[in-house]
Amino acid sequence: MIGKLGDIPFEVSFDGKNKKILNFTDLKLSGGANYGKHTRKGQKPALEFIDLNTDALSFKMILRSDFGVDPQELLKKLNGYKNIGEVLGFTLGNEPVRTGEYVITSYNAGYEYITNGGKVRKIDVSLTLEEYTKELENNIEIIIKPKKEIKKKIVHKDFNQGAISR
Q: Which of 42-56, 91-105, 124-138 has the lowest mean pLDDT?
A: 124-138
Residues 6+ apart with CB under 8 A from 130: 54, 55, 56, 102, 103, 105
Predicted local confidence at residue 5, as pLDDT: 94
Closest CA to 127 of 79, 95, 94, 84: 79
Is 90 exceeded by the pLDDT of residue 163? no
* Top CATH class, 3-132: mainly beta
Q: Phi and psi for 67 in degrees, rounded to 5?
A: -105, 20
Report, as an integer, the average pLDDT of 22-29.
94
pTM for this one? 0.73
Summarised one tens digit per residue, pLDDT across range 103-153 is: 999 999 999 999 998 899 999 999 999 999 876 555 555 555 555 555 556
Predicted local confidence at residue 1, as pLDDT: 83
Q: Please state the domain extents for the chain.
A: 3-132
Predicted local confidence at residue 162, as pLDDT: 57
First to last CA, the chain: 91
Report, as an integer, the average pLDDT of 8-27.
87
Contact, 64 vs 21, CB < 8 A? yes
